[in-house]
């Protein structure tokens, strides 16, 4: 379909729910200033030609595929379900996953009532499984040659066994609290999921493509920054190799002389992995002192 405001990149985001706050915050960290239109569906980017469409997460893949939006942030669970549906219907998906993000972690799992006698996937043959993810579930059953009845429910899937509508369920699990509250136990995981950036497969206008490339680079920079730490410490010059080996994911540290201390040096390094207390304790063991660990706000490789 034609895009009336083709010079603005339209990004679909979850309006409220598990991804909503993190999605908006990520775009703000990428430098986007938003003027929120609290009641409205469309929020306007003030300093970049971007419009945010605040919608139900389940609608995001379709909005991107059918041309109403160019880009979306959505759970892989929903992106993959829509992709399975399209494949089952012999259609092309219309969008692709560009970048897995660092929030919205959950899993799509099969679960059963605690007292149920069955326990394996094979045991589900001939049983009824309630889910809001019929295509993903069917694909998994098909791949494993299990023939079960898939009962489609749009919500409150966890109530289905108690209501006698199903023998088992296939639903999202994050903390596991919903399962526990309904006396259900997890059997196995079908899909590990987190938020992901998706884009329309069709080419966008040149300016939107350029903006998307920039945005993608910035997002990668934010993600890298979030998992990176800047470490500064003093160390004995003759134990530098050991210090270097202890710094997680650091490439070439900067080594600086310390005034009046020929035996010791200052070491500065970007660590691209988590820095645990154990690492700092090990650094002290090899003679490091004055250890500082700082967050990295942005990182452009």
State the residues that interact with ligand PRP by CB under 6 A: 17-18, 57, 155, 157-158, 171-178
Nearer to ligand PRP, 109 or 208 (CB): 109
- The CB-of-210 to Zn ion minimum distance in angstroms stands at 32
Nearer to Zn ion, 58 or 96 (CB): 58
d(CA 261, CA 257): 8
d(CA 213, CA 201): 14
Which of the choices ligand PRP, Zn ion, none does residue 173 contact, using the CB cut-off of 5 to 8 A by kind?
A: ligand PRP
Nearer to ligand PRP, 2 or 154 (CB): 154
Q: Which residue reads 């023939």 in tokens?
A: 147
* Stretch near Zn ion under the rule CB under 5 A, chosen from 55-63, 129-137, 191-199, 211-219: 55-63
Looking at 57, 59, 158, 171, which residue binds Zn ion (CB under 5 A)?
57
* Stretch near Zn ion under the rule CB under 5 A, chosen from 38-46, 56-64, 92-100, 237-245: 56-64
Between the two ends of the chain, the Cα-to-Cα distance in Å is 37
Residues forming beta bridges with residue 35, ordered by sequence position: 44
Q: Which residue reads 């540290």 in tokens?
A: 253
Please list the alpha-helical segments (H only) found in 30-129: 60-65, 76-88
Which of the choices Zn ion, ligand PRP, none does residue 167 contact, using the CB cut-off of 5 to 8 A by kind?
A: none
Nearest to 130 by CA among 103, 100, 158: 158
Which of the choices ligand PRP, Zn ion, none does residue 213 contact, using the CB cut-off of 5 to 8 A by kind?
A: none
Which of the choices ligand PRP, Zn ion, none does residue 47 contact, using the CB cut-off of 5 to 8 A by kind?
A: none
Q: Determine how β-strand 229-236 pairs with β-strand 264-271.
A: antiparallel
Distance of CA 247 to the CA centre of its chain: 26
Nearer to ligand PRP, 18 or 68 (CB): 18
DSSP string of 228-268, one letter each residue: -EEEEEEEEGGGHHHHHHHSTT--S-EEEE-TT-TTEEEEE
Nearer to Zn ion, 104 or 221 (CB): 104
In the sheet that holds 168-173, the strands lie side by side as 149-152, 128-131, 168-173, 106-113, 184-193
- The CB-of-120 to ligand PRP minimum distance in angstroms stands at 22
Whether the Cβ atoms of residue 129 and residue 168 lie closer than 8 Å to each other: yes
Nearer to ligand PRP, 3 or 178 (CB): 178
With CB atoms as reference, the residue minimizing the distance to Zn ion is 57
The neighbour count for residue 218, using CB atoms within 10 Å, is 18
Nearer to ligand PRP, 158 or 225 (CB): 158
Q: Determine how β-strand 9-14 pairs with β-strand 50-55.
A: parallel
- The CB-of-101 to ligand PRP minimum distance in angstroms stands at 16
Nearer to ligand PRP, 108 or 243 (CB): 108
59 binding Zn ion? (CB under 5 A): no
- The CB-of-83 to ligand PRP minimum distance in angstroms stands at 17
d(CA 271, CA 281): 16
Which of the choices ligand PRP, Zn ion, none does residue 177 contact, using the CB cut-off of 5 to 8 A by kind?
A: ligand PRP
- The CB-of-83 to Zn ion minimum distance in angstroms stands at 16
Binding site for Zn ion (CB under 5 A): 57-58
């Amino acid at each position: 379909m034609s895009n009336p405001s083709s010079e603005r990149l339209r990004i679909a985001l979850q309006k409220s729910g598990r991804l909503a706050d993190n999605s908006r915050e990520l775009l703000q960290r990428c430098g986007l200033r938003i003027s929120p239109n609290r009641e409205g569906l469309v929020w306007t980017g003030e300093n970049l030609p971007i419009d945010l469409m605040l919608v139900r997460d389940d609608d995001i893949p379709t909005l991107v595929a059918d041309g109403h939006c160019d880009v979306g942030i959505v759970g892989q669970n929903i992106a993959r379900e829509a992709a399975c549906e399209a494949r089952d219907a012999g259609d092309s998906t219309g969008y692709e996953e560009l970048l897995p993000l660092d929030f919205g972690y959950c899993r799509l799992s099969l679960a059963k009532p605690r007292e149920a006698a069955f326990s394996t996937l094979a045991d589900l043959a001939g049983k009824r499984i309630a889910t809001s993810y019929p295509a993903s579930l069917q694909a998994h059953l098909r791949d494993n040659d299990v023939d079960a009845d898939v009962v489609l429910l749009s919500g409150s899937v966890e109530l289905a066994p108690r209501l006698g509508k199903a023998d088992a369920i296939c639903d999202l699990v994050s903390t596991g609290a919903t399962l526990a509250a309904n006396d259900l136990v997890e059997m196995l995981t079908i899909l590990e999921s987190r938020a992901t950036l998706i884009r329309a497969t069709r080419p966008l206008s040149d300016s939107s493509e350029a903006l998307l490339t920039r945005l993608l680079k910035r997002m990668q920079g934010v993600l890298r920054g979030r998992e990176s730490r800047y470490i500064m410490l003093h160390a004995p010059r003759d134990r530098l190799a050991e210090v270097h080996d202890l710094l997680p994911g650091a490439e070439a540290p900067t080594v600086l002389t310390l005034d009046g201390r020929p035996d010791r040096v200052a070491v500065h390094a970007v660590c691209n992995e988590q820095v645990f207390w154990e690492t700092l304790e090990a650094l002290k063991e090899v003679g490091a002192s004055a250890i500082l660990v700082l967050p990295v706000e942005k990182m452009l490789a």
